Homo-oligomer: A and B are copies of this chain.
């Protein structure tokens, strides 16, 4: 009676063959209609499109990938879901990937099972490329495997000098410099730094910060404390250490915003200090709530949109030419002025 409108035949789905039969043409003709730049007459194209729509046909990307050797899948590796900074990254990254007609396979590296299994899983899905955002150093096994099977790998927001992998990241050094310069400009005298761990971004930010201190005050001692990780609690603990010494700092630059929030809260709640009057604080990343009344945190914002575009452009080039040498791109962060740095606010 009525046409079988897209109902699955058997367990299957509507296939190019169904469309071809509907019109009495060959499968190839249908295929070419959905292949940009292939040779097909306008009227035929129209007919195929109409039939496809009528039957509810959609090309099977996975079957296509067998021939084209492109899946359109980009793997995103994330380890540290604790840090709110990653929400923005995932958001913008997935969106940018989709706008390029690709899809994001998000891989949670917190997986307690070994890295080996994770790598296997990822590779089985034939991703066209991998973006590592974990914030920690790339696993050598993974890098090696990518090399072996010719899968582009880009490190996002983190440039390890130890590995050869391509990277797109924020200029941590200059970020650190900006923080120190701002503190001096606002009249703070005793600067300190709270690192997260010994990871490259954390150390790079310190180095930039120190370079300005050295330039202004020779090699004055600057206390450095380690939060241990990129967490609020780490910030609370590190600040507690720093503020109980006999010459506590009056300005603290933090490896990132979430640590900075811990620092501010510790200073206020445990030491009765006012921010920014008694203690200046500058963070890094500009996460959610950095602009809240509670924190109003002056911070260094990473230009994620630019970085993501650059990363995907680079990824494209690497996919086209797998033998391309690795490459590192740096983007400078933007100082976002709020109140936590401003002891002279009116």
Contact = CB atoms under 8 A, between A and B. Distances in A.
Contact of A150 (B8, B118, B288): B8
A84 B265 CA distance: 20
A87 interface: yes
Interface in A104-133: 104-108, 110-111, 118, 120-121, 123-126
Q: How large is the interface on A (under 10, 10 to 19, 20 to 34, 35 or more residues)?
A: 35 or more
A294 interface: yes
Contacts of A7: 148
A65 B124 CA distance: 12
Contact of A95 (B62, B108, B150, B268): B108
Contacts of A232: 288-289, 292
A294 to B, nearest CB: 4
13 contacts: A8-B150, A12-B69, A60-B126, A61-B125, A62-B125, A76-B106, A84-B87, A84-B288, A90-B90, A95-B108, A98-B107, A98-B118, A261-B294
A222 to B, nearest CB: 26
A130 to B, nearest CB: 13
A317 interface: no
B289 A149 contact: no
A78 B266 CA distance: 35
A43 B55 CA distance: 49
A223 interface: no
Contacts of A62: 62, 65-66, 71, 125-126
* 5 pairs of A and B residues whose beta carbons are closest in the complex: A81-B91, A265-B293, A94-B108, A269-B293, A294-B294
